[in-house]
Every structure is written in C-alpha cells, then in structure tokens.
Amino acid sequence: MNYPIDEIRSQFPVLALHDHDAKPFAFLDSTATTQKPEFVIDAMDNFYRKHYSSIKRGVYTMAAQTTDAYESARKKVAQFIHARAENEIIFTRGTTDSINLVAWSYGRKFLKPG
C-alpha cells in the first residue's frame, strides 16, 4: 500500500523543521512524546482557551460543557472501534498509563507465579 508521505508529513508542524544539515526533520522518539497533527493542536488550543475546566466535578456551565464534550469523545471512540458499550472506553494520560493500568488490573488478577 502506498501512503501519501508528503501529505501526511504536512499535517505535523514539527516535521516542517529541518535539522542542522537541512535534511527534513524525522522524529523517532515517539515512545515518550507523540507529535500532534495540526488539527489536534488546533483542538487542544481551542480547549485550553475556551473550555478548560473540571470534568464531572463542576456544577457551572463550562464544566458541564466540558463533561459533555469528554463523554461525546468517549461515544465516538466506542463507535469507531465497535465497542460493546461506551463504558468500555477508558481514557488515560498516555501510553505508559495505559500499559500500567492493564498490568496492574489484568496482571494482578490473571498472572500467577510459574
């Protein structure tokens, strides 16, 4: 399968940078840090500027709107991956948190010595 590499690269602002030898920048440290495409940066910017509030804790309008947006994202992810129920979708802070969650929950229950 051919991927439109230049089109994909153009969606990630950091990849427009050049290294000291003028070669296109390549970012390979994705275990610890994931580069974001422009639309994610724009969504995050909008969130931080207009919707940054507690989720499921505030009783004011902005908190309710933020909670609704959060739950809407959960619903969209559930539909996208064909989950049986929305409550199967658990958001974490990142890959490490996700791996630790699986290790500590599934691992503690099912992994035994030997």
**Annotated domain spans of the chain:** 1-37, 51-114
User: 89-110, pLDDT tens digit by residue?
Assistant: 999 988 889 899 999 998 888 8
Residue 112, pLDDT score? 86
Cβ atoms of 56 and 65 closer than 8 Å: no
User: 1-55, pLDDT tens digit by residue?
Assistant: 888 988 988 998 888 877 777 777 777 666 667 788 999 999 999 999 988 898 9
Which residue's structure tokens are 């931080």?
Answer: 48
Residues 6 or more apart whose Cβ sits within 8 Å of residue 35: 12, 14, 15, 27
Residue 23, pLDDT score? 76
Residue 17, pLDDT score? 79
Q: Residue 24, SS3?
A: strand
Cβ atoms of 36 and 15 closer than 8 Å: no
Phi-psi region of 42 (alpha: psi -120 to 50; beta: other; left: phi over 0): alpha
Paired tokens of 30: 């994705």
